[in-house]
């Protein structure tokens, strides 16, 4: 089995990015390091806290960082998880995918380029 590098990214779905941005800036005590119409990201104590407007997400999703996304998908599905969203490149070679556990909880996995 491959291990993870821990949860380093948490994405929050938002309906109004401009209203959500100052709330998260106040919560985290810092300004965003990435600020675009499709994603606002904050770097807080080694974690990426992201705001995603107009997504199909229904709740925040924690992303476990892994070195081999395909191997981790195979391990989790063999253990009873279900692939929800296949790996996709979200820019710069960063791959993300989601799975669900037997209760339908969403599990995010993320692989940065090596």
Is residue 96 domain-resident? yes
Is residue 1 domain-resident? no
List of E strands, the chain: 7-14, 34-36, 39-44, 47-53, 61-65, 82-89, 95-100, 106-111
Q: pLDDT tens-digit profile of 29-42?
A: 999 999 999 999 99
Q: Which pLDDT score is estimated for 47?
A: 94
**How many domains are there within the chain?**
1
What CATH number does residue 12 fall under? 3.10.180.10
How large is the average pLDDT for residues 55-69?
A: 94
| pTM check: above 0.85 | yes
pLDDT band at 46 (very low <50, low <70, confident <90, very high): very high
How large is the average pLDDT for residues 58-78?
A: 96
Domain span including residue 11: 6-111
């Amino acid at each position: 089995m491959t291990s993870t590098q821990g949860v380093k990214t948490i994405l929050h779905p938002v309906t109004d990015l401009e209203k959500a941005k100052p709330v998260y800036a106040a919560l985290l005590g810092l300004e965003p390091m990435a600020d675009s119409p499709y994603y606002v990201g904050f770097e807080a104590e080694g974690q990426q806290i992201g705001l995603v407007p107009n997504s199909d997400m229904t709740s925040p999703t924690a992303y476990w960082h892994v070195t081999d996304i395909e191997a981790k998908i195979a391990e989790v599905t063999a253990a009873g998880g279900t692939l929800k969203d296949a790996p996709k490149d979200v820019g710069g070679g960063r791959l993300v995918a989601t799975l669900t556990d037997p209760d339908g909880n969403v599990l995010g996995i993320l692989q940065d380029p090596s």
